[in-house]
């Protein structure tokens, strides 16, 4: 299950963060997303390590912890997408697919002329799209 | 096969060197043993690795063992392959022989027997005992050795070497070593090949790689050994997974909770063997231990850490799978010990600064990861035994703990029978637990530290064992037990007291305290490490360990790339410090965390930490810090705190601001109070004008806040350093939450455009400043990084420019000596004249008719096409004056105050004035028409207009000074001429009236009062025929009136009158003119009289009537100039001829034969050489004549007046000019001549040069003068002179002058 998705601006400022848990614990997900920026930074700053994936937007698994997984995605404009999932058995392809759709939704949202670049995304449509994408996550592979 | 393992282990432990067998055929070993063994370990050898690539190995150890030794003899062939690594890698055959026959018969067959075993790598060392002096023996030994070589060496391989006992050859040892290495290499290759084949064949016998690996390790081929171990691990995991056979996992023994992943010898291998295979728990740790040992040997602690971390993770997973058979919380405990071991081992093996930077960073990151993993597990265990209340419910802890599942033992541990007192103690602890109160009364639901309720989880695990009494522990009931109410608590107390024991705890669900106690007991039995157990023994110990782990993690993260992890953990450390009263350190750490969150705009997280920091600062009495924290709290997103909480922040700020602060603290409230100018174009002011500035101030405070003072700086956009002006509002301002508009007085500013700078002010003793512009909205919380915004000018002050234009309305002359309207056009130039005051001061000869009102009316200037013209709807076609607005004003002390309607439009002010002139107008003769001097009619009006925006007297108003010149004139200019001289002595005097004004003049009457010596002809009254009148004279036209007069004496009655020297012409006239055009009817004092047509004016003019000049004495004639014309710089002789026409009668009684002459010439145009004034002799005889000539040089080209000759002694009337001199003559520009090329382009400094130039010019003139007199010769010289340089020139000039 995806517990959290986030859009982080190029200055590492949160632009959109949405948790999908029942409990009132969004803050811990904020923390996870925030700390995962360390890994994103590290990957971006050390291109040696990332090697062949240098030009790829999908950053892959950022956090191999026991209990949850954090995936990252970096757009050309250095906007980061972070996905936190408690699903420990996730297929890479699913995540890639998720990010691709998420990216498209993001591009739609920021193309809104009333959106100020670098500001938080307040679009309801974006939120709805995201929640649809999150709900459909993993279904394609299952079905 | 696994049975061999025990043996394998022991053999492995005993083998640490390669073995080289020595076959001592001729009993030589004891004598040469020392010499041979000294060679070991071999300094350098090249061995092949698994891929048959040569690898250099330094200091390869090996041991020489006789084949007869027990160690080699006792082995059985069937073990051979398995433990091949311990078999000799080379065999050295030692022989000696001194006789060829003996060699052939005895030794050779024996050697053949020895070396026939192909498996072995061998070579023969022939030891020559022959003494060097003994030639015979030496020769013999050589023969035998030669024979030996023939028999045993082949072309492919040398298998013999000769060792001279007494005199070893220099290269023997090298030879020997190379042979040994060769043998070892070959053996190794062979055996590796064998093992590989074997592995392929016996894929199930997984120990084979280890033999190989160990063999590599022995051969110091660590890399290869590592590869083999890696392979072994893979193979093992494959087997474990593939077979699917339920194997014993292991890990149930006492002490297994402590990880052995760095100590391969912790458990003998025999213990981990079971059922023909290995127990996973031990074996995987064992393999990892072997790997890490090799990695440490390879000096790669980083790899140990990295492999170790993933090993721990994967092994922890394995432990999870087998959790139900393992002791309670075995997994957590194992991870803790594994992490700690790994951290210690890698840290001690790690040499800082050796590895590349990224590896080093990564290493510390791993250390941090290990620490934090360890920390999480430690926290989990601590929670299980009831230390949860001591844990910070921070996002970090929540993130790591709330997603970490509870331990899943087969059965949740139950309360031991004798633990009732402990349970009681725990109950008490739970009771004492108070939910953590946040500062400022912030109420938040605490973040979870548990994946699900421990109470429910534990009881579920128990319940699954016994009958399902889930009903009791579900829902709210469980909650009430988690935080027991008082009643429920007493209830449970009695129950615990009444029926302690195992059965009851199984039957009924456990209470929280019981769960804690049970977990504690279970853990105690699981944990074998007393150190670790000590950490759980008390809250203090727990905290200490917690701090140690957290610090470890934070420190290591700080040294890695993962700064955020480090800083966040600093926050956790700060929480502990805070709890322990170490506020100083806590504040420092909290500050770091806050800076991190604030820097990147993670407001939600910041809102969690910032109150803690504020509390620290409050306790530390750090007022500045506390205030700024409060302000930051207020400026966070409004949604993050309740209004009540935000009000609490504000009240803190206000309380502190009004309290006695030791030092006034400056406070930056940029995030809270923002300001902007009003939307729309900037205020535009003229230079020197004050104004009012409206500023929108946005307050982010939740309540009204009173600012005791406020000031705002204006910054000029053109210069940053200058022009910062503060606008103050000294009165207190109450800011409402949200938008406020405040007004500030704006003193006059320098020209330029201004932007808003900084807002400063006071709240109580607190001075604050804000430099954040807003777009009229609240402070942008997202814009945490951009303080610089495009600033819009708020104020524009224009450079000094004309603001108003005053001009006379009429350019033509007005009537003198009559009251006339002077129109002054007041044209404001895009500037309001509201409240303007005009001071009028008339010059001499001009007075204001104060009895009359001043009129003011709007004025439309058609020619300018100004805006007023367009907007003025009442514009009449063809009329320049629009009487839309008309007002009569009165003059007070020479001041007129402008009406409001005139403030923005061009208006005209009509002022009644009267120019006084007591001079009588004089007529002139038409022969020499002399106009009256225009200056005589000029009068001035000094105007001073005070105007400007400022109505009070604080600032100086604009003042506009202007002196207007107004031209007044008589209506006519009179000239006379004698039209005809009749024979009867009557003169027809024509009086010509030139109209001087732009108005139609109507002459009603005219008469002449004659001077003495003239009388009217026909004894008339001097009036022309009345039928002439009225005579209308249009502007700028003339009219003539004839009077007939004659010379003669006046009558007797007239004689009584004073004799008039002048004749007076009287003209009674009327004027009809428009005051906007020029002269007009005089302003009548009475309104009724303005329409009176009979209001006639009288004009008087004096006329000079001269008796006619009838007898000229002298005639002056100007003689013609040379026909070649005049040229600048060229001398010309002006000549006049003076001729005596007749004798003087009596004018010049003396000097009859001399005439005084004077030449008048404009010195700008002419240079006169010669006497300008003097006497010339002219005989008194009639008809005598002389010529007066004078040398002149024209100085300028063009038409100039020539010099004129005057005869001052002779009355003008006696001089007749015949022929008359020309008025103007033409002077041509100078001919191109070097003499006049004045080098003006020379540098300015050479003023000397310029002076010389002047001299040069003069000299040129001179030269021409000379030329005139002396001819061409001199001219040539002078031209040359001109061309010379100046010094020489001057010298020569002197000589020339002398010559001259």
Nearest CA in chain B to A38: B562
**pLDDT for B298:** 77
> What is the per-residue pLDDT across B1233-1248, written as a single tens digit (0 to 9) for each?
555 444 444 444 444 5
Fold of B972-1078+1090-1103: Immunoglobulin-like (2.60.40)
Which of A25, A42, A64 comes nearest B402 by C-beta?
A25
Is the domain covering B3-201 a CATH 3.40.50 domain?
Answer: yes
Q: How far is CA B30 from the centre of its chain?
A: 89
* More reliable by pLDDT, B829 or A124: A124
Residues for chain B: how many in total? 1300
At a CB cut-off of 8 Å and minimum separation 6, what does B154 contact?
none
* Four-point Cα dihedral B5, B8, B10, B13, nearest 10: -130
pLDDT surpasses 90 at A104: yes
pLDDT surpasses 70 at B780: no
**Kind of pairing between the strands at B1114-1118 and B1215-1217:** parallel
Q: Is A64 part of any domain?
A: yes
- Whether the Cβ atoms of residue B285 and residue B260 lie closer than 8 Å to each other: yes
Cα of B448 to nearest chain A Cα, Å? 7
Rounded Cα distance, B755 and B673, in Å: 17
Any chain A CB within 8 A of the CB of B608? Answer: yes
Q: Band the pLDDT of B591: cuts 50, 70, 90.
A: very high
Q: Band the pLDDT of B556: cuts 50, 70, 90.
A: very high
B3-201 and B804-966 agree in CATH topology:
no
pLDDT surpasses 90 at A128: yes
Which of A13, A35, A48 comes nearest B564 by C-beta?
A35
Decide if B561 and A41 are in contact by the 8 Å CB cutoff: yes
Residues in chain B closer than 8 A to A49 (CB atoms): 358
Q: Which two tokens stand for residue B402?
A: 């709330």
- Whether the Cβ atoms of residue B635 and residue B620 lie closer than 8 Å to each other: no
* More reliable by pLDDT, B876 or B116: B116
Rounded Cα distance, B936 and B970, in Å: 11
Q: Band the pLDDT of B642: cuts 50, 70, 90.
A: confident
- Whether the Cβ atoms of residue B1154 and residue B1136 lie closer than 8 Å to each other: no
Fold of B669-797: Immunoglobulin-like (2.60.40)
CATH number, domain B804-966, options 3.20.20, 1.10.287, 2.30.30, 2.60.40? 2.60.40
Decide if A32 and B399 are in contact by the 8 Å CB cutoff: yes
**pLDDT for B27:** 78
User: Over pLDDT 90: what percentage of chain A?
Assistant: 31
Decide if A118 and B782 are in contact by the 8 Å CB cutoff: yes
- Whether the Cβ atoms of residue B498 and residue B420 lie closer than 8 Å to each other: no
Position of tokens 């016998």?
B205
Residue B718, number of CB atoms within 10 A of its CB:
12
Any chain A CB within 8 A of the CB of B561? Answer: yes
pLDDT surpasses 70 at B1261: no
Q: Band the pLDDT of B973: cuts 50, 70, 90.
A: confident
**pLDDT for B1298:** 41
For residue B1073, give the nearest of B933, B962, B971, B949 by alpha carbon.
Answer: B971
**pLDDT for B211:** 59
Decide if A66 and B402 are in contact by the 8 Å CB cutoff: no
**pLDDT for B477:** 41
Any chain A CB within 8 A of the CB of B1038? Answer: no
**pLDDT for B549:** 92
Which residue ranges make up each domain of chain B?
3-201, 299-433+447-546, 584-661, 669-797, 804-966, 972-1078+1090-1103, 1114-1228, 1240-1299
ipTM summary value: 0.92
Interface test with A, best of B377, B452, B604 (most A CBs within 10 A): B604
Q: Please list the residues that pair with B982 across neighbouring strands.
A: none
**pLDDT for B284:** 77
Q: Integer distance in angstroms from the first to the last C-alpha of chain A?
A: 16
Which of B310, B313, B448 comes nearest A25 by C-beta?
B448
* Mean pLDDT value of segment B721-737: 74
Cα of B943 to nearest chain A Cα, Å? 59
Rounded Cα distance, B1296 and B955, in Å: 74
pLDDT surpasses 80 at B1189: yes
Nearest CA in chain A to B605: A27
Nearest CA in chain B to A45: B561
Q: Is A55 part of any domain?
A: yes
Residues in chain A closer than 8 A to B313 (CB atoms): 64, 66
At a CB cut-off of 8 Å and minimum separation 6, what does B354 contact?
none
State the average pLDDT for chain B: 74
Indicate the angle between helix axes B623-635 and B603-619, nearest 10 degrees: 160
DSSP type of residue B773:
B
User: Over pLDDT 90: what percentage of chain B?
Assistant: 4
Decide if A13 and B316 are in contact by the 8 Å CB cutoff: no
Any chain A CB within 8 A of the CB of B784? Answer: yes
> Whole domain around residue A81: which residue ranges?
2-133
Residues in chain A closer than 8 A to B404 (CB atoms): 66-67
Cα of B468 to nearest chain A Cα, Å? 27
Decide if B604 and A30 are in contact by the 8 Å CB cutoff: yes
Q: Band the pLDDT of B471: cuts 50, 70, 90.
A: very low
Decide if A11 and B785 are in contact by the 8 Å CB cutoff: yes
* Mean pLDDT value of segment B304-324: 84
Decide if A64 and B313 are in contact by the 8 Å CB cutoff: yes
Residues in chain A closer than 8 A to B399 (CB atoms): 28-29, 31-32
For residue B517, give the nearest of B606, B435, B424 by alpha carbon.
Answer: B424
- Whether the Cβ atoms of residue B1227 and residue B1122 lie closer than 8 Å to each other: no
DSSP type of residue B156:
S
**pLDDT for B1143:** 65
Decide if B404 and A66 are in contact by the 8 Å CB cutoff: yes
Decide if A11 and B600 are in contact by the 8 Å CB cutoff: yes
Cα of B602 to nearest chain A Cα, Å? 6
> What is the per-residue pLDDT across B804-820, written as a single tens digit (0 to 9) for each?
888 888 778 888 888 88
**pLDDT for B743:** 83
Position of tokens 């995201």?
A130
Secondary structure of B722-739 in HEC code, one letter for each residue: CCCEEEEECCCEEECCEE
- Whether the Cβ atoms of residue B393 and residue B446 lie closer than 8 Å to each other: yes
Decide if B565 and A38 are in contact by the 8 Å CB cutoff: yes
Buried b (16+ CB within 10 A) or exposed e, B297-326: eeebbbbbbbbbbebbeebbebbeebbeeb
Is residue B340 left, alpha or beta, with left meaning phi > 0 and alpha meaning psi from -120 to 50?
alpha
* Mean pLDDT value of segment B175-190: 79
- Whichever domain contains A70, its CATH number is 3.30.450.70
Q: Band the pLDDT of B1196: cuts 50, 70, 90.
A: confident
At a CB cut-off of 8 Å and minimum separation 6, what does B515 contact?
B384, B412, B454, B455, B458
Which of A:22-41 have CB within 8 Å of B? 23-32, 34-35, 37-39, 41
Q: Which two tokens stand for residue B945?
A: 């207009």
Q: Band the pLDDT of B68: cuts 50, 70, 90.
A: confident
Q: Integer distance in angstroms from the first to the last C-alpha of chain B?
A: 148
User: DSSP letter string over B254-283?
Assistant: TTTTS--TT-TTSS-HHHHEETTEE-HHHH
Any chain B CB within 8 A of the CB of A88? Answer: no
pLDDT surpasses 70 at B1068: yes
* More reliable by pLDDT, A124 or B767: A124
**pLDDT for B1091:** 47
Q: Is A99 part of any domain?
A: yes
Rounded Cα distance, B516 and B427, in Å: 10
Residues in chain B closer than 8 A to A68 (CB atoms): 403
pLDDT surpasses 80 at B253: no
Position of tokens 């009251």?
B819
* Mean pLDDT value of segment B924-928: 65
Alpha helices in B930-1012 (DSSP H): none
**pLDDT for B722:** 57
Which of helix, strand or coil describes residue B807? strand
**pLDDT for B240:** 59
Interface test with A, best of B602, B779, B789 (most A CBs within 10 A): B602
- Whether the Cβ atoms of residue B319 and residue B334 lie closer than 8 Å to each other: yes
Residues in chain B closer than 8 A to A35 (CB atoms): 562, 564-565, 568
Nearest CA in chain A to B785: A11
Residue B1052, number of CB atoms within 10 A of its CB:
7
Decide if A39 and B562 are in contact by the 8 Å CB cutoff: yes
pLDDT surpasses 90 at A103: yes
Rounded Cα distance, B805 and B825, in Å: 8
Q: Is A62 part of any domain?
A: yes
Q: Which two tokens stand for residue B1067?
A: 């003209």
H/E stretch holding B1097: strand B1097-1103
* Mean pLDDT value of segment B93-121: 77
Rounded Cα distance, A30 and A87, in Å: 18
Cα of A66 to nearest chain B Cα, Å? 7
Is residue B1071 left, alpha or beta, with left meaning phi > 0 and alpha meaning psi from -120 to 50?
beta
Number of domains in chain A: 1
* More reliable by pLDDT, B636 or B11: B636
Lowest mean pLDDT among B562-571, B785-794, B928-937: B785-794
**pLDDT for B876:** 39
Nearest CA in chain A to B780: A119
Q: Band the pLDDT of B50: cuts 50, 70, 90.
A: low
**pLDDT for B445:** 81
pLDDT surpasses 80 at B547: yes
The vertex-B724 CA angle with B719 and B727, nearest 5°, equals 150
**pLDDT for B81:** 58
* More reliable by pLDDT, B1040 or B1147: B1040
* More reliable by pLDDT, B933 or B527: B527
* Mean pLDDT value of segment B400-419: 83
Q: Band the pLDDT of B976: cuts 50, 70, 90.
A: confident
Q: Band the pLDDT of B1144: cuts 50, 70, 90.
A: low
Q: Band the pLDDT of B724: cuts 50, 70, 90.
A: low
The vertex-B572 CA angle with B570 and B578, nearest 5°, equals 100
Its CATH class, for the domain covering B1114-1228, is mainly beta
Rounded Cα distance, B330 and B313, in Å: 14
Q: Is A141 part of any domain?
A: no
Cα of A105 to nearest chain B Cα, Å? 22
At a CB cut-off of 8 Å and minimum separation 6, what does B925 contact?
B975, B976, B977, B1104, B1106
At a CB cut-off of 8 Å and minimum separation 6, what does A139 contact?
none
* Mean pLDDT value of segment B925-952: 72
For residue B995, give the nearest of B886, B1079, B1119 by alpha carbon.
Answer: B1079
Alpha helices in B559-661 (DSSP H): 563-579, 583-600, 603-619, 623-635, 643-658
Residues in chain B closer than 8 A to A66 (CB atoms): 313, 316-317, 404
pLDDT surpasses 80 at A45: no
The vertex-B1253 CA angle with B1248 and B1257, nearest 5°, equals 150
**pLDDT for B26:** 76
Cα of B568 to nearest chain A Cα, Å? 8
H/E stretch holding B218: helix B207-218
Q: Which two tokens stand for residue B1258?
A: 């003069």
**pLDDT for B526:** 83
């Amino acid at each position: 299950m995806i517990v959290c998705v986030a859009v982080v601006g190029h200055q590492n400022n949160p632009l959109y963060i949405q948790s999908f848990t029942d409990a009132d614990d969004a803050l811990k997900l904020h923390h996870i997303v925030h700390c995962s920026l360390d890994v994103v930074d590290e990957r971006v700053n050390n291109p040696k390590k990332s090697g062949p994936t240098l030009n790829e937007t999908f950053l892959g698994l950022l956090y191999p912890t026991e209990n949850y997984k954090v995936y990252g995605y970096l757009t050309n404009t250095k906007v980061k997408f972070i996905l936190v999932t408690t699903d420990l058995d996730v297929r890479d392809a699913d995540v890639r697919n998720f990010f691709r759709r998420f990216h498209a939704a993001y591009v739609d949202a920021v193309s809104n002329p009333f959106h100020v670049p670098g500001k938080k995304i307040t679009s309801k449509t974006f939120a709805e799209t995201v929640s649809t994408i999150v709900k459909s996550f993993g279904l394609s592979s299952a079905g | 096969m696994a049975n061999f393992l025990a043996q394998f282990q022991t053999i492995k432990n005993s083998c640490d060197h390669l073995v080289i067998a020595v076959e001592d055929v001729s009993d030589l070993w004891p004598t040469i043993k020392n010499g041979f063994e000294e060679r070991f370990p071999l300094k350098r050898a090249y061995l092949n690795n698994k891929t048959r690539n040569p690898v250099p190995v330094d200091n390869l150890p090996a041991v020489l063992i006789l084949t007869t030794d027990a160690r080699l003899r006792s082995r059985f062939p069937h073990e051979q392959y398995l433990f091949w690594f311990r078999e000799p890698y080379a065999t050295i055959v030692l022989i000696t022989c001194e006789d060829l026959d003996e060699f052939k018969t005895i030794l050779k067959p024996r050697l053949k027997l020895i070396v026939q075993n192909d498996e072995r790598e061998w070579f023969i060392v022939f030891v020559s005992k022959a003494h060097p002096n003994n030639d015979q023996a030496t020769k013999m030994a050589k023969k035998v050795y030669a024979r030996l070589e023939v028999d045993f060496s082949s072309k492919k391989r040398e298998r013999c070497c000769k060792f001279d006992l007494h005199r070893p050859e220099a290269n023997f040892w090298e030879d020997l070593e190379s042979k040994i290495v060769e043998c070892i290499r070959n053996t190794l290759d062979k055996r590796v090949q064998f093992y590989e084949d074997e592995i392929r064949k016996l894929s199930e016998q997984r120990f084979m790689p280890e033999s190989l690996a160990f063999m590599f390790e022995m051969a110091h081929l660590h890399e290869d050994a590592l590869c083999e171990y890696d392979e072994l691990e893979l193979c093992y995991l494959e087997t474990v997974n593939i077979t699917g056979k339920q194997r014993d996992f292991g890990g149930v023994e006492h002490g297994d909770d402590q990880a052995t992943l760095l100590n391969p010898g912790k458990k003998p291998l025999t213990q981990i063997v079971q059922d023909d295979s290995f127990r996973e728990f031990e074996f995987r740790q064992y393999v990892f231990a072997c790997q890490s040992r090799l990695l440490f040997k390879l000096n790669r602690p980083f790899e140990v850490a990295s492999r170790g971390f993933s090993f721990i993770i994967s092994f922890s997973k394995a432990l999870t799978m087998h959790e139900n058979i393992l002791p309670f919380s075995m997994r957590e405990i194992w991870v803790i010990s594994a992490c700690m071991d790994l951290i210690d081992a890698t840290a001690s093996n790690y040499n800082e600064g050796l590895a590349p930077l990224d590896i080093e960073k990564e290493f510390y990151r791993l250390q941090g990861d290990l620490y934090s993993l360890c920390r999480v597990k430690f926290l989990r265990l601590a929670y299980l035994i009831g230390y949860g209340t001591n844990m910070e419910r921070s996002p970090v802890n929540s993130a790591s703990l709330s997603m970490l599942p509870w331990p899943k033992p087969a059965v949740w541990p139950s309360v031991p029978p004798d633990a009732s007192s402990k349970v009681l103690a725990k109950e008490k602890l739970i009771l004492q637990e108070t939910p953590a109160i946040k500062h400022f009364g912030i109420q938040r639901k605490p973040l979870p530290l548990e994946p699900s309720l421990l109470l429910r989880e534990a009881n579920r695990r128990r319940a699954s064992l016994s009958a399902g009494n889930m009903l009791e522990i579900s829902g709210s009931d469980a909650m009430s037990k988690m935080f027991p109410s008082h009643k429920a608590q007493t209830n449970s107390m009695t129950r615990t007291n009444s029926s302690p024991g195992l059965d009851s705890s199984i039957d009924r669900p456990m209470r929280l305290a019981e769960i804690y106690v049970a977990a504690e007991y279970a853990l105690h039995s699981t944990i074998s490490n007393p150190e670790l157990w000590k950490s759980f023994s008390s809250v203090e110990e727990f905290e200490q360990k917690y701090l140690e782990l957290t610090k470890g993690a934070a420190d290591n993260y700080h040294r890695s790339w993962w700064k955020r992890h480090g800083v966040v953990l600093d926050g956790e450390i700060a929480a502990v410090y805070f709890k322990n009263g170490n506020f100083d350190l806590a504040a420092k750490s909290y500050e770091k965390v806050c800076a991190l969150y604030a820097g990147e705009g993670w407001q939600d997280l910041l809102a969690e930490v910032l109150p803690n920091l504020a509390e620290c600062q409050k306790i530390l009495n750090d007022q500045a810090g506390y205030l700024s924290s409060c302000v930051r709290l207020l400026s966070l997103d409004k949604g993050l705190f309740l209004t009540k909480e935000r009000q609490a922040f504000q009240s803190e700020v206000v309380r502190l601001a009004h309290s006695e602060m030791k030092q006034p603290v400056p406070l930056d409230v940029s995030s809270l109070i923002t300001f902007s100018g009003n939307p729309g174009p900037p205020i535009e002011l003229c230079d020197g004008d004050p104004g009012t500035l409206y500023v929108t101030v946005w307050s982010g405070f939740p309540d009204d806040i009173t600012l005791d003072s406020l000031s705002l700086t204006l910054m000029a956009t053109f210069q940053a350093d200058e022009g910062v002006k503060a606008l103050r509002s000294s009165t207190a301002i109450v800011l409402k939450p949200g938008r406020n508009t405040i007004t500030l007085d704006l003193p006059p500013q320098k020209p330029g455009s201004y932007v808003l700078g900084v807002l400063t002010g006071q709240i109580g003793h607190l001075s604050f400043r804000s430099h954040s512009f807003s777009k009229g909205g609240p402070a942008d919380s997202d814009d945490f990084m951009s303080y610089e915004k495009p600033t819009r000018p708020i104020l524009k002050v224009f450079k000094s420019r004309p603001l108003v234009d005053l001009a006379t309305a009429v350019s033509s002359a007005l009537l003198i000596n009559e009251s006339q309207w002077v129109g002054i056009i007041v044209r404001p130039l895009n500037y309001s004249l509201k409240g303007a005051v005009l001071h009028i001061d008339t010059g001499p000869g001009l007075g204001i008719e104060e009895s009359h009102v001043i009129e003011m009316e709007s004025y439309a200037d058609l020619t300018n096409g100004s805006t007023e013209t367009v907007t003025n709807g009442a514009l009449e076609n063809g009329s320049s004056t629009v009487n839309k607005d008309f007002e009569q004003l009165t003059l007070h002390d020479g001041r007129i105050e402008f009406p409001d309607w005139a403030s923005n439009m061009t208006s005209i002010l009509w002022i009644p004035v009267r120019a006084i002139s007591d001079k009588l107008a004089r007529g002139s003769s038409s022969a020499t028409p002399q106009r009256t001097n225009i200056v005589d009619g000029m009068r001035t009006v000094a105007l001073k207009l005070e105007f400007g925006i400022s109505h009070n007297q604080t600032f100086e108003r604009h003042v506009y000074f202007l002196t207007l010149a107004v031209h007044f004139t008589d209506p006519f200019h009179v000239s006379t001429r004698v039209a005809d001289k009749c024979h009867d002595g009557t003169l027809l005097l024509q009086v010509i009236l030139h109209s001087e004004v732009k108005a139609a003049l109507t002459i009603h009457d005219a008469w002449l009062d004659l001077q003495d010596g003239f009388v009217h002809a026909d004894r008339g009254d001097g009036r022309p025929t009345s039928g002439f009148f009225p005579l209308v004279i249009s502007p700028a036209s003339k009219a003539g009136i004839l009077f007939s007069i004659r010379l003669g004496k006046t009558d007797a009655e007239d004689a009584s009158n004073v004799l008039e020297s002048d004749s007076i012409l009287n003209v009674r006239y009327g004027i009809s003119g428009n005051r906007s055009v020029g002269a007009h009817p005089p302003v009548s004092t009475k309104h009724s009289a303005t329409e009176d047509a009979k209001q006639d004016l009288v004009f008087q003019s004096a006329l000079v009537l001269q008796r006619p000049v009838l007898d000229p004495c002298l005639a002056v004639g100007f003689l013609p100039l040379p026909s070649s014309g005049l040229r600048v710089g060229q001398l010309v002789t002006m000549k006049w001829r003076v001729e005596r026409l007749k004798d003087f009668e009596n004018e010049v009684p003396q000097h009859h034969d001399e005439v005084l002459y004077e030449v008048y010439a404009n010195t700008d145009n002419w240079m006169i050489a010669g006497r300008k004034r003097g006497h010339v002799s002219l005989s008194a005889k009639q008809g005598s004549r002389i010529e007066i000539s004078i040398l002149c040089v024209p100085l300028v080209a063009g038409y100039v007046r020539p010099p004129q000759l005057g005869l001052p002694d002779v009355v003008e009337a006696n001089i007749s000019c015949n022929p008359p001199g020309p008025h103007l003559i033409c002077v041509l520009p100078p001919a191109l001549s070097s003499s006049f090329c004045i080098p003006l382009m020379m540098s300015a400094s050479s003023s000397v040069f310029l002076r010389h130039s002047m001299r040069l010019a003069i000299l040129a003139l001179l030269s021409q003068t000379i030329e005139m007199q002396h001819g061409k010769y001199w001219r040539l010289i002078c031209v040359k002179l001109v061309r010379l340089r100046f010094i020489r020139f001057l010298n020569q000039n002197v000589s020339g002058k002398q010559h001259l």
